[in-house]
Chain A
Amino acid sequence: MTSRLKSRHKRLILLAGALVALGIATALVLSAFRKNLVFFITPTQILSGDAPRDRAFRIGGMVQAGSLQRQADGVTVDFVVTDLAHSVKVHYRGILPDLFKEGKGVVAQGRLDAHREFVAEQVLAKHDENYMPPEAADALKKGAAVAAVTGTGTGKERP
C-alpha cells in the first residue's frame, strides 16, 4: 500500500515538475513573443502615424530610383523607400545586400527617429534576382490601391 502511495506521489511530483517546466517555458515564450514580434508597416502607414514609436518594425516597398546617397564616411547610405503612394527616407550604416538596387523591392528593419525618418538596423537580402520579397510586394500592392483612390502616386516610380 505504502509503495503504491509512494509511486503515486512520485508520479505527481514528476507531473508537477513537468507542469512547472511547461509553465516557465510558456511564460518565457509569451514574454519573448510580445517583446520581439516585428510588425510590418508600409510607408503609407508610417505617414498616417500607424508606426510603433518605441520598438523595431519592418518596412517594405521599392527603392526609389535616384534616391541612393552615400554619406562622407562611405559606409552610411540614405535612400527612399516608396510604396508608390507615399515614401519614407531610410538611413543605414553598413554593407547593402548584393541584390540591393534602385527600382527594386526591399525590406528593412529598424526604428523611426525624431525626424520620422527610418533608421535601419538591417536591410534584408534577397537570394534571387527576379524575386520580390512578399512584404515589399504587399506594400506595393496596397500603395498602388491607395494611389488609385487618392491620386497621390505620380506613376513615375512604377517599375
Chain B
Amino acid sequence: MIPELGNLALILALCLAVLQGTLPLAGSLTGNARWVALARPVAVGQALFVTFAFAVLVHAFAVNDFSVAYVAANSNTALPLVYRITATWGGHEGSLLLWVQTLALWTIAVAAFSRQLPRATVARVLAVLGLVAIGFLCFMLFTSNPFDRALPAPPDGRDLNPLLQDVGMIVHPPLLYMGYVGFSVAFAFAIAALVGGQLDAAWARWARPWTLVAWTFLTLGIFLGSFWAYYELGWGGWWFWDAVENASFMPWLVGAALIHSLAVTEKRGAFRNWTVLLAILAFSLSLLGTFLVRSGVLTSVHAFASDPRRGLFILVFLAIVIGGSLALYAWRAPTIGLGGRFALFSRESLLLVNNVLLLVAAATVLLGTLYPLFLDALGGGKISVGPPYFETVFVPLMIPVLALIAVGPAVAWKSGSLRDVAVRLRPAALLAAVLGAAAFLVLHVTPAVALGLLLAAWTLIATAQHLVRNLLHAPRGTPLVARATRQGAAWWGMVVAHAGVGIFVIGVTLVKGTETADDVSLRVGATALAGDYLFKFESLEKIRASNYVGARGTFTVTRGGERVATLYPEKRFYTVQQMPTTEAAIDRGFARDLYVSLGELTKDGTWIVRVQHKPFMGWIWAGALVIAAGGLLAAIDRRYRTRRVPAADAARAAPDIAIPVPSPSRSA
C-alpha cells in the first residue's frame, strides 16, 4: 500500500509542477499578481510531494519490500541496512528519483532564500525549475517508475552490485547530483533574465552564489567519484576519460567558465550575453550527462543493463530544453546588451581568453565522447576514443590556462598595464622557471614533468604573491585580521581555488610522470618491488561476511630494510550476484601512496598481485578539495547575503519589481 502512496505523490508532484511551470510565468508577463504569488507555495508543495515519494522508496528498501520490482532488482535481505538505503539510487529508476529529489531541494532553497529578489524574477525562476521538474517526473512516471510492482513478490532481491556496496555510494551520487542539478538554478536565472529582457549587476549578484555552490558540489562529486574508483575498481587508476566521467567533467568545465564570466558581469556589467549562454550550456551539458549515463548508450560501471528505449524520451526532452532555450536566447539576447567596454589588455580580456579555453576544452571532451556514439548510430562501425586522445588534446589546452591563472588577478579591470604586470610577476616567473629547470637537471624528471612542475610553481607562487601583496597593501599598523577581512570572501575564494589548482597540477604531474606499477606472480613469503619499496606477501587468510566470502592477504612494505606499512588487500566473492571483486589496500602518505591489489589465484597456488608506488597521489585529492573550499568560500561572500535592499536601491537594481509588464524589446 505504501508504495502506491509514493506513486500518488509523484503524480501530485507532476500536477503541481505543471502549475508551477505555467501560471507564475504567465502571471509575470501579464501582470497577474495572484499567479505570480502562486510560485512559492506551489513550488514548495511540489518539492514536498517529491520528497515524500523519495522517503517512500527509501522505506521500501529499508523494510525489504521485494514486491516493488526496483527494490527486488537492487537489494537483498543480506545487504547491510546502510547499503539497502543507498541502493535507493543504485539503479536507473532510483537515480532519476534522486535527480528529482535534488531538484526539489534546490527548488526549496530558491523559494526560501529569494526574499530580496523581485517577485517577478522569483516567479520566473521557480517556473523554469517547474518546467524541468515536469520533464523528469513524466520520464519517471511513463518510462521508469520506481514504484512498479512485481507480484508475486520474490522471496529475496537480486542484490546491489558489489562495486556499489561502499561508502562512496552514500556520498558520491548525491553530491554529484547536487552539482548537476544545481546548474538548473543558474539556468533558471538565465531564462528568467531572457524572458524579462533585463540583466544587470544585481542579477549577476543573485546568480553568482547559486552557481558557485552548484559548481562546488560538482567539484566534490567528481572528486569523490574519482577517489572511489581509485580504491574500489582495484587497479589504481583515478581518471579513465570514461564517457560517464566526461559527462560530469564537461559541465564542470563550462561551470568554471561561467563563474568567471559571472564575476565580470557582476563587477563590470560586461559579458552579459556570454554569461547567459554559458548558464544555458552548463545546464544543457548536465542534462546531456544524465542522458549519457541513464539512456544505456554507454557501457560503464554506471549503466547496468539500462533500457535503451528510455533514451528516446531523454533525447526529445534534451532537444526541447536545449533547442528551446537557445531559440529564446537567439530571440532575446539582443535585449540584454553586451555591457561595458574594456581594453585589449585588461582583466576582462584575460577572463575572456580563460572562458574560450575552458569552452574549447569542454568541446574537445564532448567530441571525443560523442563521436563514437554518433558513428555507431549512423552505422559507421564501432570505434573508441581512449585516454591518449584526451591527454593529447586536453593537456596542451590547459597549459595557457595555467599560465594565465596567475596573471588574471594581477591585471586591472577595464584597462591594465602590460608593463606593470610584467614587472610585478617577473620574480614569480623567474622562480618558477628555476624550480622547473632544477627538477629537470637535478631530479632528472622528464621534460613533461618539469613543465608541469614549472606551471604549478608559477600558479602557486604568483597566487601567494597576490595574496601577500593584498595583505600588505594597507595603512601601517592595521591588524592582520582587518587586513585579511578587508578583502571579501569571494576574493579569498579565488586565491584558495587557484592555489588548489596548483596543488592538483603537482599531484597529476608527479603521479602520471613518475608512478611505477608491476604485475607479479607471488606465493606467500615472496616479495615484489615498486619504486624503491619492497612488498612482501606475508600471509593469507579466509574471510566471511553476511553477503560475501573471500581471502585477505597481509603484505608488509619496507624501504631500505625499514618497515613502512602493513597492507591487507582482499579478494571477495559476492554470493548473490556470483561476482568477484578486488579490494585494494592503500597506504596513503604525504608524498606517496603504496597500493597493492590481489588479482587472481592461479592453479598452482600463486597469486597474481599488482604493486604500485604512486608519488604525490594525495596531492590530487588535496588539490580538488582545496578548489572546492575556494568555491564554497566565494559563495558565502557577504555581498551576496540576502538582506532586503532599501526601496530606492531596489527600484534602481530591478526596475521590474513593482509592475511586471512584458518589457519591450529594446533593440541593441
CA–CA, A99 and B597, complex, Å:
16
Cα distance A134–B243 when bound, in Å?
15
* B580–A131 CB distance below 8 A: no
Scoring A residues 114 to 146 as 1 if CB is less than 8 Å from chain B, else 0, what string do you get? 000000000001011111011100100000000
Task: Looking at the assembled complex, report how far the CB atom of B86 sits from the nearest CB atom of chain A, in whole angstroms.
Answer: 17
A74 in contact (CB, < 8 A): yes
**Nearest Cβ on chain A to B281's Cβ, whole angstroms:** 16
Q: Which residues of A contact B381 (CB under 8 A)?
A: 39-40
Q: Pick the contact of A131: B304, B599, B604 (CB < 8 A).
A: B304
Contact A127–B344 (Cβ < 8 Å): no
Which of chain B's residues has its CB closest to A24's CB? B396
Q: Is A148's beta carbon under 8 Å from chain B?
A: no
Is A28 a contact partner of B392 (Cβ separation < 8 A)?
yes
Are A18 and B356 in contact, CB atoms less than 8 angstroms apart? yes
Contact A22 B580 (CB under 8 A): no
Q: Are A10 and B344 in contact (CB under 8 A)?
A: yes
Residue among B384, B577, B582 making CB contact with A40, cutoff 8 Å: B384
Nearest chain B CB to A79 CB, angstrom units:
13
Residues of B555-610 contacting chain A, CB below 8 A: 577-582, 597, 599-600, 602-604, 606, 608, 610
Question: Known contacts being A28-B396, A127-B304, is A138 close to B521, with CB within 8 Å?
Answer: no
Q: Which of A40, A130, A133, A134 contacts B305 (CB 8 A)?
A: A130
CA distance A17 to B360 in the complex (A): 13
> A28-B396, A32-B389 in contact; A99/B580 too (CB < 8 A)?
yes
Q: Tell me the minimal C-beta distance from B211 to chain A in angstroms.
A: 23
CB <8 Å contact, A98 and B581: yes
Shortest beta-carbon distance from A10 to chain B in Å = 5
Let me know if A129 and B577 touch, CB within 8 A. Answer: yes
**CA–CA, A70 and B161, complex, Å:** 29
Which chain A residues lie closer than 8 Å to B397 at the CB level? 25, 28
> A18's closest neighbor in chain B, by CB?
B356
CB-contacts of A26-62 with B (<8 A): 28-29, 31-33, 35-40, 58
- Does B393 contact A70, Cβ atoms closer than 8 Å? no
B364, CB-defined interface residue at 8 Å: yes
Number of interface residues of B (CB under 8 A): 54
Q: Which one of A35, A95, A96 has the greatest number of beta carbons of chain B within 10 Å?
A: A95
A48-97 at interface with B (beta carbon < 8 Å): 58, 70, 73-75, 93-96
Q: Chain B: which residue is nearest A21 at the CB level?
A: B356
Picked from B341, B357, B610, the residue with its CB within 8 Å of the CB of A7 is B341
A75–B352 contact, CB under 8 A? no
Contact of B519 with A by CB under 8 A: yes
Distance from A155 Cβ to chain B, minimum over Cβ atoms (Å): 25
Specify which chain A residues have a CB less than 8 angstroms from the CB of B393 in the assembled complex.
25, 28-29, 32
A125 to B229 alpha-carbon distance, docked (Å): 13
Instruction: For the complex, give the distance between the alpha carbons of A94 and B611 in Å.
Output: 12
Q: Determine if B519 and A95 form an interchain contact, defined as CB atoms under 8 angstroms apart.
A: yes
Contacts of A13 in B (CB 8 A): 344
Q: Label chain B's interface by main secondary structure.
A: mixed
Contacts of B300 in A (CB 8 A): 127
CB distance from B339 to the nearest CB of A (A): 14
B608 touches A74 (CB 8 A): yes
Q: Is the CB of A94 within 8 A of B600?
A: no
A34 to B581 CA separation, bound complex (whole angstroms): 36
Q: Restricting to B249-305, which residues have a CB under 8 Å from any CB of A?
A: 299-301, 304-305
A-B pairs under 8 A by CB, number: 118
Instruction: Name B574's closest neighbour in chain A (CB-CB).
Output: A129
Whether B299 and A17, one on each chain, are in contact in the complex, defined by CB atoms closer than 8 angstroms, is no
> Across the interface, do A70 and B602 meet the contact criterion of CB distance under 8 Å?
yes
Give min CB distance, A142 to chain B, whole Å: 11
Residue from A10, A40, A70, A129 in contact with B579 in the complex, judged by beta carbons closer than 8 Å = A129
- With most chain A CB atoms within 10 A of its CB, the pick from B161, B344, B581, B603 is B344
Q: Tell me the minimal C-beta distance from A71 to chain B in angstroms.
A: 10
CA distance A133 to B356 in the complex (A): 37
The residues of A that contact B343 with a CB separation of less than 8 Å are 10
Q: B357-390 CB contact bits vs A (8 Å, 1 = yes)?
A: 1001001100110010000000001111110110
Please indicate the chain B residues that have their CB under 8 angstroms from the CB of A129 in the complex: 577-579
Whether B353 is near chain A, meaning CB under 8 Å from some CB there, is yes
A73 neighbours in B (Cβ, 8 Å): 521
Q: Which residues of B contact A134 (CB under 8 A)?
A: 299, 382
Chain B 435-453 near chain A by CB (<8 Å), digits 1 or 0: 0000000000000000000
Cα(A35)–Cα(B385), bound, Å: 10
Instruction: State in angstroms the CA–CA spacing of A75 and B517 once bound together.
Output: 14
Interchain nearest-CB distance for B89 vs A (Å): 16
In the assembled complex, the Cα of A75 lies from the Cα of B607 at a distance in Å of 9
Say whether B145 faces chain A, with CB atoms less than 8 Å apart.
no
Given A14-B349, A21-B356, A93-B519, decide whether A133 and B299 contact each other with a Cβ distance below 8 A: yes
* Interface assignment of B653: CB less than 8 Å from any CB of chain A: no
Expressed in whole angstroms, the Cα–Cα distance for A111 and B527 within the complex equals 32
**Of residues 482 to 539 in B, which have CB atoms within 8 Å of A's CB atoms?**
519-521
In the bound assembly, the distance between CA atoms of A98 and B579 in angstroms comes to 8
CB 8 Å contact bits of B317-361 with A (1 = contact, 0 = none): 000000000000000000000000101100001001100110010
Which residues of B lie under 8 Å from residue A28 when comparing CB positions?
364, 392-393, 396-397
Contact B383 A98 (CB under 8 A): no
- Name the B residues within 8 Å of A25 (CB-CB): 360, 363-364, 393, 397
- 21 A-B residue pairs with CB within 8 Å: A13-B344, A22-B356, A25-B363, A25-B397, A28-B392, A32-B388, A33-B389, A35-B392, A40-B383, A75-B608, A94-B519, A95-B235, A96-B600, A98-B582, A99-B579, A99-B580, A127-B304, A128-B161, A130-B305, A134-B299, A134-B382
- Besides A10-B343, A21-B356, 18 more A-B contacts (Cβ < 8 Å) are A13-B344, A22-B360, A29-B367, A31-B392, A32-B392, A33-B368, A38-B384, A39-B382, A40-B382, A74-B606, A74-B608, A95-B608, A98-B580, A99-B579, A127-B161, A129-B577, A129-B578, A133-B299
The 10 tightest CB contacts between A and B, nearest first, are A74-B521, A95-B599, A36-B389, A32-B392, A40-B382, A127-B301, A98-B580, A36-B388, A25-B360, A94-B519
Instruction: Give B residues with C-beta under 8 Å from A.
Output: 161, 163, 233-235, 299-301, 304-305, 341, 343-344, 349, 352-353, 356-357, 360, 363-364, 367-368, 371, 381-386, 388-389, 392-393, 396-397, 519-521, 577-582, 597, 599-600, 602-604, 606, 608, 610
Residues in chain A within 8 A of chain B (CB atoms): 7, 10, 13-14, 17-18, 21-22, 25, 28-29, 31-33, 35-40, 58, 70, 73-75, 93-96, 98-99, 109, 125, 127-131, 133-135, 138
